[in-house]
Structure 1
Amino acid sequence: MFYRKTKEIDSQFEAITTLDEVQIGGLKQTILIRGENTNNPLMLFLHGGPGTAQIGLAPKFQRDLEKHFTVVNWDQRGAGLSYSKELKKEDLTIENMVNDSVELIQYLLKRFNQPKLFLIGHSWGSVLGVLVSQKAPEFIYGYIGIGQVVNMKEGEKISYEYTLNKAKESNHKKALKKLAEIEYNPLDMKYLGVQRKWLAKLGGSFIGVTMYNLVYSNILFAPEYTMKDWFVFIKGGKFSLDSLWEQLMDINFIETAPKLEVPVYLFAGRHDYQVPSIVAEQYFHTLECPHKEWIWFENSGHLLNYEEVEKFNAECLKIKETTLTPVR
């Protein structure tokens, strides 16, 4: 389902709502662009997962952002509306995804005649966010990391230990039984499914949003995805996870990205043990960059931009104003 819609608000600027197929990395990929004024700065979201495409999920949470930014959501290669059965596992590499991201940024800047944009990476998307900031800092006003991945092996160990300890503390017999039945192995998808299920039930995944508001209401009401698209969303999510997860285990930005040439803002959910905030905090303290800020979201887990929407939007607006307001 593809549509393009633009409308004039007044004689000085134009709103935009458009769902487009664009050629990125030699592949047809889909982007959703929404905003009340195309002269506003661009904000590009790099979704999590791998494979958790967010064109069908994010727009209803981003309405206020659209007043101040031209917001771009992108279903990455192999995910959501950018999934294709022609893709092979070897087509999904971190290097390819980084190159796609840079190519998309260049396309957007040219299309909207803008010099730079604000880049947001969530979870898996935060891996791309750091690598893109490292590769093409000249295109980025500032990088915002949500649920920032830093060291996957360390983070997965902490996540498992948190889940097990919470099950013991609450004497959750079913959780303890299911966790005892699996061997710790973050490369095993069966293990990962069990651990993530009980992590969510025990409060270490998200706490400030319900599954209905996050997913089920979108299945019923989101205009960007048809029912068929939601089935493809599931297929693309599994394909992306299977293709990229093992590659993620080699990520350790404390060693490979100790310095970035863009301002960095790390947004952290106090209750996030899916990608534990404690690891991102270690990175924050050692990271060298022109400017950096650490912002806690006290009532959030891993999905803080959906859990504390007003605070998230306000922090983004604050970054825009401090970045783009001329110094007198």
Structure 2
Amino acid sequence: MPNGIDEASYVRIGGIDQWLSVRGEDLSNPVIVELHGGPGASNLVFAPRTRAWERHFTIVRWDMRGAGRTFAAGGPEGQGEMTLDRLYADALEVTRHIRARLGVDKVLLVANSFGTVTGLRLARDHPEFYSAYVGTDQNIIGGGRDTSSYEALLARLAKAGRRKERAKVAAMGPDRSAWSAEQWSEYAKTVVTTDPLTYDTMKTVVIRSLWFSPFHTLRGLRAYLKGMTFSEQLGPQAMTIDEYAEGTAFRLPFFLFQGDHDVLTPPEPARRFYEAVTAPVKDFALIREASHFASFRHPEQFLDLMLTRVRPVVTGEGVSRTT
């Protein structure tokens, strides 16, 4: 489009080359900076599914260190420091770069899944950079006090008669801060494969998006998967976080949109955290018939929430409902 943008290149962030994609039909639209999940799972593969979003927002998709094209460019030895603090610093640098490149004062911070760990911290600390925070597949680790999803997994395994897997998960114990990177990864994979809706979403949305991605070659997809394995080391680092202790006061609009059947990051802990949050505007909504990857399984529902609840707030055209 005449006032649109479609750029993709490596940018020097945190001392290494990191991949940034910027797409949108109208540069006067609000700018979204995405924080992808995984860890190490670039959102670039979902671009065809979220094409309609680009009519209403300019979307910045960043392959973090350890992910996607950033991992492919430098390999394991070229990723530098792999810590949550480093990702946080990188995200601030990306934010500053995009604000300068696009000439905007603030950007809309949208985080999904593992990206929400960093997203909450950025939103809490830097309301001067972000017009609002939107979390989906929101992680609420909460110091490990809530073990309901762990117990639900044990129950599903018992009901399915998968005794060996249940024994393995039981031996890990509910204290995720004591898990190794391998145990953290194994737990996530077991959650995905024991819930029919999540497993179907993995096959029909995630794997299909990977296989048919117009932005990746087969070699690129191999690097994508290797990056996810490499980035698993970040998982256990997050398990010691207590979001309540870090603070529930946010000085920017705050939104959580959660899959109503998500068993990996269930809606109940997210709603409890939302209820504890104080913010100038806040809103919570469920994405219907959705597991994890809710915004990518139902991109039309997510876009409707963004247009009816978020965009009016960040553009000053209206105020959001509180539910």
What letter matches 1:78 in structure 2?
Answer: G
Deviation, 1:103, is 0.9
- Greater Cα offset, 34-43 or 89-98: 89-98
3-state secondary structure, aligned to 1:166: helix
C-alpha contact (below 8 Å) 2:157/2:166 kept by paired residues: no
- Residue 232 of structure 2: aligned partner: 241
3-state secondary structure, aligned to 2:104: coil
Q: Say if 2:250 is the partner of 1:260.
A: yes
Q: Distance in 2 between matches of 1:257 and 1:100?
A: 22
1:40 counterpart (23, 29, 41): 29
Give TM-score scaled by structure 1 length.
0.87
Deviations 1:96-146 (A, max 9, x none): 111111111111111111111111111110011111112221111110011
2:75 counterpart (72, 77, 85): 85
3-state secondary structure, aligned to 2:225: helix
- Residue 22 of structure 1: aligned partner: 11
- Residue 115 of structure 1: aligned partner: 105
Q: Distance in 2 between matches of 1:26 and 1:148?
A: 29
Q: Distance in 1 between matches of 2:76 and 2:165?
A: 37
What letter matches 1:298 in structure 2?
Answer: R
Q: Distance in 2 between matches of 1:36 and 1:202?
A: 40
- Residue 293 of structure 1: aligned partner: 283
Deviation, 1:176, is 3.0
C-alpha contact (below 8 Å) 2:39/2:232 kept by paired residues: yes
Q: Distance in 2 between matches of 1:230 and 1:37?
A: 30
3-state secondary structure, aligned to 2:43: coil
What letter matches 2:307 in structure 1?
Answer: L
3-state secondary structure, aligned to 1:51: coil
3-state secondary structure, aligned to 1:275: coil
**Percent identity between the two aligned chains:** 25
C-alpha contact (below 8 Å) 1:204/1:272 kept by paired residues: no
Give TM-score scaled by structure 2 length.
0.88
Deviation, 1:166, is 2.2
| Paired residues for 1:1-328 under 5 Å | 9=1, 13-55=2-44, 57-83=45-71, 84-85=74-75, 87=77, 91-151=81-141, 154=144, 157-168=147-158, 171-173=159-161, 175-182=162-169, 183-185=171-173, 186=176, 187-203=179-195, 206=198, 209=201, 211-219=203-211, 221-242=212-233, 244-318=234-308, 319-326=310-317
What letter matches 2:167 in structure 1?
Answer: A
C-alpha contact (below 8 Å) 1:150/1:254 kept by paired residues: no
- Residue 4 of structure 1: aligned partner: none
3-state secondary structure, aligned to 1:78: coil
Q: Distance in 2 between matches of 1:240 and 1:47?
A: 12
Q: Distance in 1 between matches of 2:110 and 2:269?
A: 19
Residues 204 and 92 of structure 1: is their aligned pair in 2 closer, same or farther, counting only changes over 3 Å? farther
Deviations 1:178-230 (A, max 9, x none): 222441254134444443333223327726735143223532x3221121111
Residues 161 and 88 of structure 1: is their aligned pair in 2 closer, same or farther, counting only changes over 3 Å? farther
C-alpha contact (below 8 Å) 1:46/1:126 kept by paired residues: yes
Q: Distance in 2 between matches of 1:255 and 1:204?
A: 34
Residues 18 and 215 of structure 1: is their aligned pair in 2 closer, same or farther, counting only changes over 3 Å? farther
What letter matches 1:257 in structure 2?
Answer: G
Q: Distance in 1 between matches of 2:200 and 2:30?
A: 29
3-state secondary structure, aligned to 1:272: coil
What letter matches 1:94 in structure 2?
Answer: L
Q: What is the root-mean-square deviation in Å for CA atoms of aligned residues?
A: 2.3
What letter matches 1:188 in structure 2?
Answer: S
Residues 196 and 247 of structure 1: is their aligned pair in 2 closer, same or farther, counting only changes over 3 Å? closer
Deviation, 1:287, is 1.2
C-alpha contact (below 8 Å) 2:3/2:25 kept by paired residues: yes
C-alpha contact (below 8 Å) 1:51/1:236 kept by paired residues: yes
